[in-house]
Chains A and B, each alone.
Chain A
């Protein structure tokens, strides 16, 4: 059975909640014991994903060596069949044993469907649109962790591909801002989402993880030079959205920690906003800071570390792309470093005084 700590918390929750039936209680106990076993462990996930990807590679190699891929229609048919089969199998068998089959069928399905439509219509936009639709259908019909996780990546990947297909790089900034706002709301309104319905509750974790990876991928994409051609207002707008989101997270955190002094509140806001102001034309930095702040606030420490790595990467790219001499760069870096250390000592004194 579960450990003592878990049992205590569970007893506490049960006593605080009225109207729980015995069936509900049994279900809760069953899921908790599944959670405690290897079922949701990272080891099984890595194994099934590695197996799934290897199987996709060899199955695609098989399809390429046959005549099947000559026909767009056959590819579409096979793709739809694979995706449907993966959804059906995942629904029918509530057992991680078949995860590898489900993952490989699902990914192969997306690839075949995309290739088939591309071959028949030569329209990349249509491919992205159909993929978007399939991902949406997955959210509606499936409760599987991996399927929904893949669907989030496909969904956000399709939005990105609209930008590259139609050569509209400036939209990238708006889209990143939009995704970051959605991601922020996922974190800050966790309680709302998981209480909304069983469906939203089950989808919460894969969607959050999928969004984390998508937002970080978008931020990394924002550091590439091809985006910055003439449209200086778009990066600014994106930065403003991201900085406002950061401030909103800080607002929530301040409310929660109960800091009353107006000066302290003002100083905390200034601490977040002022260092970000010089990066207004480079939104990736504000985005990475946002990821760190929300993940730390809501207790997703591993995600916060990922955000930290993203911040390190975008900062390096920022200084690398900055068109100043090394001397100016060194002065900017050194002065910022001294400023941070100065704020640090002031902060330490302030904390001691309280």
Chain B
């Protein structure tokens, strides 16, 4: 598919090989509305003033409560946050504001839910970093997330699930190895990625922004890479073998999917992960002979990434006719 080239890039390239005068270039950039025109400025000033006004006044209110915080009764504190939470949700449900604004308020309400749990933990000394605090927070915003289908809210939920798993492993499970913990995170993030972000799967999301699907995929691949590499460095346990098989299957599926759908994104991240894993393996196997192995590893990384780039370019040319 041919990609649209921004007007700015076009004029840069054109002026490189012609004797176009600055005035002509400026006229082009103005005419094509690359530079902001009056409506764009009005929209910009409008949005900025509103945003600044809201953020500053809300910050002022928060600072005011922070000033009086020590002297407030615990019920007043709880009532304050709960009152805010209820107001926010009422606005989302009852008002006729723009959908984006209501979604943003819901995101704010989801963050307030966390603040409420933290406050509860502070007053009743249950600790602010306990895993059940994050578990509670996660469970209480699941419904809002599913109903809103709003990508930033899904990202918050994903983050909370990840934190809950890590804290559970640290505080309750105790003896879970790093390969196991990261393998679980890999499975969780991959499942979210497959069910939320793959094209055609817009069931749970109103729209899937590119940054969202890329972040999820990158999170999944980062976890799988850490799982396998940590297993190599800290000697192989049972969990590592399970993780290895799962990662292998997932990577093969991702690559097959790439070739079938003719999309290159997975071809960037999966091979990069494999390169890092192989580098980790090389460093580990040659313990005691650091000099040689680091030299080989640097050569390996440089050459494999170069080969990878040239292959991706070749494939892209074959798929997209360039």
0/1 interface trace, chain B 262-295, chain A, CB 8 Å (1 if under): 0011001000100110010001000000110011
> Which of the 9-residue segments B20-28, B184-192, B201-209, B250-258 touches chain A?
B20-28
Q: Are B4 and A6 in contact (CB under 8 A)?
A: yes
Q: Looking at the complex, which one of A50, A61, A257, A327 makes contact with B290 (CB distance below 8 Å)?
A: A61
Q: Are B13 and A37 in contact (CB under 8 A)?
A: no
Which single residue of chain B is at the shortest CB-CB distance from A189? B22
Q: Are B57 and A334 in contact (CB under 8 A)?
A: yes
Interface presence of A343 (CB below 8 A): yes
> Which of the 9-residue segments B38-46, B74-82, B131-139, B144-152 touches chain A?
B38-46
Q: Are A100 and B24 in contact (CB under 8 A)?
A: no
Which single residue of chain A is at the shortest CB-CB distance from B2? A3
A13 and B64 CA atoms in complex are apart in Å by 59
Across-interface contacts of A348 in B (CB, < 8 A)? 46
A31 and B14 CA atoms in complex are apart in Å by 9
Within 8 A of A (CB), among B1-38: 2-5, 7-26, 28-30, 32-38
Shortest Cβ gap from A101 to chain B (Å): 5
Q: Looking at the complex, which one of B15, B60, B275 makes contact with A334 (CB distance below 8 Å)?
A: B60
Q: Which of A37, A271, A338 has the most CB of B within 10 A?
A: A37
Q: Are B67 and A327 in contact (CB under 8 A)?
A: yes
Q: Are B42 and A50 in contact (CB under 8 A)?
A: no
Q: Are B301 and A28 in contact (CB under 8 A)?
A: no
Q: Are B20 and A62 in contact (CB under 8 A)?
A: no
Q: Are A35 and B36 in contact (CB under 8 A)?
A: no
Given A47-B305, A58-B294, A257-B38, the answer on whether A340 and B52 have CB atoms closer than 8 Å is yes
Q: Looking at the complex, which one of A33, A54, A336, A344 makes contact with B279 (CB distance below 8 Å)?
A: A54
Q: Are A43 and B23 in contact (CB under 8 A)?
A: no
Q: Are B309 and A47 in contact (CB under 8 A)?
A: yes
Which single residue of chain A is at the shortest CB-CB distance from B25? A191
Interface presence of B298 (CB below 8 A): yes
A276 and B301 CA atoms in complex are apart in Å by 49
A282 and B276 CA atoms in complex are apart in Å by 44
A54 and B294 CA atoms in complex are apart in Å by 11
Interface presence of B172 (CB below 8 A): no
Q: Are A58 and B301 in contact (CB under 8 A)?
A: yes
Q: Are A43 and B265 in contact (CB under 8 A)?
A: yes
A344 and B37 CA atoms in complex are apart in Å by 20
Which single residue of chain A is at the shortest CB-CB distance from B51? A340
Q: Are B58 and A36 in contact (CB under 8 A)?
A: no
Which single residue of chain A is at the shortest CB-CB distance from B317? A37
Which single residue of chain B is at the shortest CB-CB distance from A316? B59
Q: Are A43 and B29 in contact (CB under 8 A)?
A: no
Report how many residues on chain B are interfacial, defined by Cβ distance under 8 Å. 84
Q: Are B298 and A48 in contact (CB under 8 A)?
A: no
Shortest Cβ gap from B53 to chain A (Å): 4
> Which of the 9-residue segments A166-174, A238-246, A296-304 touches chain B?
A296-304
Q: Are B57 and A341 in contact (CB under 8 A)?
A: yes
Q: Are B5 and A66 in contact (CB under 8 A)?
A: no
Q: Are B302 and A337 in contact (CB under 8 A)?
A: no
Q: Looking at the complex, which one of A9, A100, A257, A343 makes contact with B41 (CB distance below 8 Å)?
A: A257
Shortest Cβ gap from B247 to chain A (Å): 19
Interface presence of B322 (CB below 8 A): yes
Within 8 A of B (CB), among A1-30: 1-3, 5-6, 9-10, 13, 16-17, 19-20, 24-25, 27-28
Shortest Cβ gap from A330 to chain B (Å): 3
Q: Looking at the complex, which one of A25, A331, A337, A343 makes contact with B58 (CB distance below 8 Å)?
A: A337
A191 and B34 CA atoms in complex are apart in Å by 12
Q: Are A27 and B17 in contact (CB under 8 A)?
A: yes
Which single residue of chain B is at the shortest CB-CB distance from A193? B22
Interface presence of B49 (CB below 8 A): yes
Which single residue of chain A is at the shortest CB-CB distance from B290? A65
A225 and B276 CA atoms in complex are apart in Å by 40
Shortest Cβ gap from A64 to chain B (Å): 8
Return 14 A-B CB contacts under 8 Å, by A number.
A6-B5, A17-B20, A20-B18, A47-B308, A50-B305, A58-B279, A59-B298, A98-B306, A101-B306, A204-B12, A296-B36, A335-B60, A340-B52, A343-B53
A-B contact sample (9 more), CB < 8 A, given A35-B5, A58-B283, A201-B12: A3-B4, A20-B17, A100-B306, A195-B20, A253-B36, A256-B35, A296-B44, A332-B60, A337-B58
